[in-house]
Structure 1
Amino acid sequence: MVNPDLLMNNDEVQASPEFQQLESREGELHLRFYIASNQQFALPAMGIREVISAPLDQITPIPNASPFLLGTLNLRGRVIWVADLGQFLGNSTTLNTDRAEIPVIAVEEQDTIVGLAVDQIVGMEWLNVQAVQMVTNVPENMEPFLQGQWALDKNTNQCLRLLNQKAILQSERWATRN
């Protein structure tokens, strides 16, 4: 059954508080999340195909693969690689896989899709890309995958780092075994 309250013409939609709230947002929509080392990152929403909670038994391990590669996952009939994003970025803290489900961010660039397993999804947020600062104090092996950062707390040097999914997807790390 259709709810008659949901049937509005275009003028009613533009006058609705929800539409005005979306229109008043500044910046671009991003997904915020944490990796296992408790570092916070963001990805532009435009490059994200979907976010799923993957049951661990649906991720098939691949023998003799890189340590950051958790395995493969069937995503709507397409087999994709799933990586521990923290380890991919060079972090030594491994993702806790002793839980029922793992948050996986499926990122896409042209015809390539990869699943990035993270510790926790914070949610979607509008972020001002004009306020992105140069990346500072990051390990050398993480730097190629960062576009910049936002300062969250200057006293504790907490920051939100903006990832470049295109650089992640095109990385030679996918072809190497460690």
Structure 2
Amino acid sequence: MVGNPDFLTGKGEDGGPEFQELESPEGELHLRFYVPSGNEFALPATGIREVLEPSPNQITAIPNASPLLLGTLNMRGRVIWVSDLGQFLGDTIAVNTDRTEIPVIAIEDQDTMLGLAVDRIVDMDWLDIDQLQMASNVPDTMAPFLRGEWVLDQEQGKFLRLLDQVAILRSARWAT
């Protein structure tokens, strides 16, 4: 079967070989996801260590820790803190932990790793950085952690906001 020349190229309508055009992606690869408030965000794939979906009982609550932290998670022998990204960014709606799995995005910079619990993960997309605009009408609690936004639908106020994972990791909010 693999030795058959039709398997490799296929035959076009005119009987000649049919070649499939491969599109080269435009922009940079990003992970798109939602927080519980319904806001959509993206993170550059280069800053993501791993995407996990642990059950809530795999996240160990830590007493007297910041209310932004859900607890710790053991990732192949490495303990990482897991935070509620929506609440970290100033949303009042907490991530739902009463479900079978919680989407967690593990971000990393140098030797620091943090898990960001989100409502749901959409997919990976190639996004054009040249189309990125300055973020407008964002809360002061969110602004320091944004690189900008893509306008998805101006009339309905739908934006895809690009987060800065290094700013999130190095935030002084983790100390409170």
TM-score category of the 2 structures, normalised to the smaller one? 0.7 to 0.9
How far apart in 2 are the matches of 1:32 and 1:142? 17
Question: Residue 60 of structure 1 aligns with which residue?
Answer: 60
How far apart in 2 are the matches of 1:43 and 1:79? 22
CA RMSD for the aligned pairs? 1.6
* Structure 1 residue 28 corresponds to structure 2 residue 25: no
Deviant stretches of 4+, over 2 Å: none
How far apart in 2 are the matches of 1:154 and 1:144? 23
**Secondary structure in 2 aligned to 1:125?**
strand
Q: Which runs of 5+ in 1 are unaligned?
A: 6-15
Question: Residue 167 of structure 1 aligns with which residue?
Answer: 167
How far apart in 2 are the matches of 1:100 and 1:143? 32
Question: Residue 84 of structure 1 aligns with which residue?
Answer: 84
* Structure 1 residue 111 corresponds to structure 2 residue 111: yes
Shift of 1:76: 1.3
Matches within 5 A, 1:42-53: 42-53=42-53
Instruction: Tell me which protein shows more helix as a share of its residues.
Output: 1
**Cα distance change on mapping 1:151 and 1:52 into 2, 3 Å:** same
One-letter amino acid of the structure 2 residue matched with residue 127 of structure 1: L
One-letter amino acid of the structure 1 residue matched with residue 172 of structure 2: E
Question: Residue 143 of structure 1 aligns with which residue?
Answer: 143
Aligned-residue sequence identity (percent) comes to 63
How far apart in 2 are the matches of 1:50 and 1:17? 32
State the structure with more CA Rg: 2
* Structure 1 residue 69 corresponds to structure 2 residue 66: no
Question: Residue 154 of structure 2 aligns with which residue?
Answer: 154
Shift of 1:17: 5.0
1:6-48 deviation digits (Å, cap 9, x = unpaired) = xxxxxxxxxx859x33xx1100000000001010000000000
TM-score (norm 2): 0.88
How far apart in 1 are the matches of 2:20 and 2:104? 32
How far apart in 2 are the matches of 1:116 and 1:51? 9
* Structure 1 residue 93 corresponds to structure 2 residue 55: no
Q: Which runs of 5+ in 2 are unaligned?
A: 3-18
TM-score (norm 1): 0.87
**Cα distance change on mapping 1:17 and 1:87 into 2, 3 Å:** farther
How far apart in 2 are the matches of 1:110 and 1:51? 18
**Secondary structure in 2 aligned to 1:139?**
coil
